[in-house]
Chain A
Amino acid sequence: MHASARRGLVAAGLLAPAALVFALLFVWPQLGLFLQSMPAGAPLAQYERFLGDSYYLGVLGNSLLLGLCVTLVTLVLGFPLAFLLARAETRWAGLLLLLTSFPLWVSAVVRSFAWMVLFFRNGVASRLLQSTGLVESNFQLIGTFAGVVIALAQVLLPIMIVTLYAVIRGIDRDLEHAAMSLGASPVVALWLVTIRLARGGILAGSLLVFSLSVSAFATPSLVGGARAHFMAVTIYEQTLELLDWPFAAAIAAILLAISISVALTYGRLLGDAKEQAR
Chain B
Amino acid sequence: MISLRSPFGWVLRLMAVLTFIYLLGPLFVIVAASFSDTGYLAFPPQGFSLRWYRQALGDVRYLNGFFVSLRLAGTVAVLSLVIGTAAAVALTRFRFPGRALLEAIFLSPLVLPGLVLAVALTLFYAAHPVAPPGLPRLIISHLLVGVPLVLRVMLPVLKRVDPALEEAAQNLGAPPLQAFFLVTLPALKPGLFAAAALAFIFSFDEVEMALFLGSARDAPLTVVLYGAAQMQMDPTVAAVSAMLILLALILMVAQQAYANR
Chain B positions within 8 Å of A240 at CB level: 211-212
Contact indicator B229/A29 (Cβ below 8 Å) = no
By the criterion CB–CB under 8 Å, are B16 and A215 in contact?
no
**Does residue B165 face the partner (Cβ distance < 8 Å to A)?**
no
Q: Which residue on B lies nearest to A142, using beta carbons?
A: B233
Task: Report the Cα distance A233→B23, complex, angstroms.
Answer: 25
Pairwise interchain contact B241-A114, C-beta atoms closer than 8 A: yes
Q: Does B249 contact A (CB under 8 A)?
A: yes
A178 and chain B: residue at smallest CB distance: B1
Q: Are A187 and B123 in contact (CB under 8 A)?
A: no
The smallest beta-carbon distance between A189 and chain B, in angstroms, is 6
Return the chain A residue nearest B113 by Cβ. Answer: A215
Which of chain A's residues have a CB closer than 8 A to the CB of B18?
77
Chain B 1-40, CB-CB to A under 8 Å as 1, else 0, gives 1111010110011011011101110110110010000001
B212 x A239 contact (CB < 8 A): yes
Known: A25-B143, A84-B13, A87-B4. A113 touches B248 (CB 8 A): no
**A180 at interface, CB cutoff 8 A:** yes
Does B135 sit within 8 A of A, measured CB to CB? no
> Which residues does chain B contribute within 8 Å of A36, judged by CB atoms?
123
B116 interface contact, C-beta 8 A = yes
Rounded to whole Å, the gap between the CB of B102 and the closest CB of chain A is 8
Are A157 and B19 within 8 A (Cβ)? yes
Q: In the docked arrangement, what's the CA distance between A185 and B226, Å?
A: 50
A62 within 8 A of B: no
Complex CA gap A99/B24 in Å reads 8
Query: 10 nearest interchain CB pairs?
Result: A215-B113, A114-B26, A18-B87, A29-B124, A107-B205, A14-B90, A29-B120, A105-B248, A11-B94, A173-B1
With an 8 A cutoff between CB atoms, is B190 at the interface?
no
0/1 interface trace, chain A 15-27, chain B, CB 8 Å (1 if under) = 1011101101110
- Give which listed residue, B43, B94, B140, B201, contacts A7 with CB less than 8 A: B94
The answer to whether A28 has its CB under 8 Å from any CB of chain B is yes
Residue B89 is within 8 A (CB to CB) of chain A in the complex? yes
Q: Is the CB of A245 within 8 A of B123?
A: yes
Picked from B15, B108, B119, B130, the residue with its CB within 8 Å of the CB of A24 is B130
**Interface assignment of A59: CB less than 8 Å from any CB of chain B:** no
Q: How far is the CA of A235 from the CA of B113 in the complex (A)?
A: 12
Given A15-B87, A113-B229, also A32-B120 (CB < 8 A):
yes
8 Å CB interface, A100-140 against B: 100, 102-103, 105-118, 120, 122-124
Say yes or no: A117 contacts B233, CB within 8 Å: yes
Which residues of B are found within 8 Å of A218, using beta-carbon distances?
207-208, 226
Q: B2, A116: Cβ atoms under 8 Å? A: no
Supposing A32-B127, A106-B27 touch, asked if A252 and B115 sit within 8 A by C-beta, the answer is yes
Secondary structure type dominating chain A contacts: helix
Binding site for A on B (CB under 8 A): 1-4, 6, 8-9, 12-13, 15-16, 18-20, 22-24, 26-27, 29-30, 33, 40-41, 43-44, 82-84, 86-87, 89-91, 93-94, 96, 102, 105-106, 108-109, 111-117, 119-124, 126-128, 130, 140-141, 143-144, 147, 151, 201, 204-208, 211-212, 222, 225-226, 229-230, 233, 237-238, 241, 244-245, 248-249, 251-252, 256
Q: How many Å lie between the Cα of A245 and that of B126 in the bound state?
A: 11
Complex CA gap A124/B61 in Å reads 29
**What is the CA–CA distance of A134 and B83 in the complex, to the nearest angstrom?**
56
Partner of B124, one of A28, A115, A259: A28
Taking a contact as CB atoms under 8 Å apart, the answer to whether B225 and A109 are in contact is: yes
What A residues does B108 contact at CB under 8 A? 26
19 interchain pairs, CB-CB under 8 A:
A10-B94, A18-B83, A25-B121, A26-B109, A26-B117, A32-B120, A36-B123, A77-B18, A81-B15, A103-B24, A105-B249, A105-B251, A107-B204, A113-B229, A117-B43, A177-B1, A212-B113, A215-B114, A240-B211
CB contact between A118 and one of B43, B87, B112 (< 8 Å): that residue? B43
What is the bound-complex CA distance between A230 and B12, given in angstroms? Answer: 34
Which residues on A are within 8 Å of B, measured CB to CB?
Answer: 7-8, 10-12, 14-15, 17-19, 21-22, 24-26, 28-30, 32-33, 36, 77-78, 80-81, 83-85, 87-88, 96, 98-100, 102-103, 105-118, 120, 122-124, 154, 157-158, 173-174, 176-177, 180, 185-187, 189-190, 211-212, 214-215, 217-218, 221-222, 232, 235-236, 239-240, 245, 248-249, 252, 255-256, 259-260, 263
- Provided the pairs A33-B120, A100-B23 are in contact, do residues A17 and B144 lie with their beta carbons within 8 angstroms? no
Which of B16, B29, B204 contacts A117, CB < 8 Å?
B29
Report which residue of A21, A26, A85, A108 has the largest number of chain B beta carbons within 10 angstroms of its beta carbon: A21
B256→A124 contact, CB < 8 A = no
List of A residues within 8 angstroms of B83 by Cβ: 17-18, 21
- Interface residue from A25, A103, A217 paired with B23 (Cβ < 8 Å): A103
> Which B residues are CB-close (under 8 A) to A212?
113
Do the beta carbons of B41 and A117 come within 8 Å of each other? yes
The residues of B that contact A173 with a CB separation of less than 8 Å are 1
B94: nearest chain-A partner, CB-CB: A11
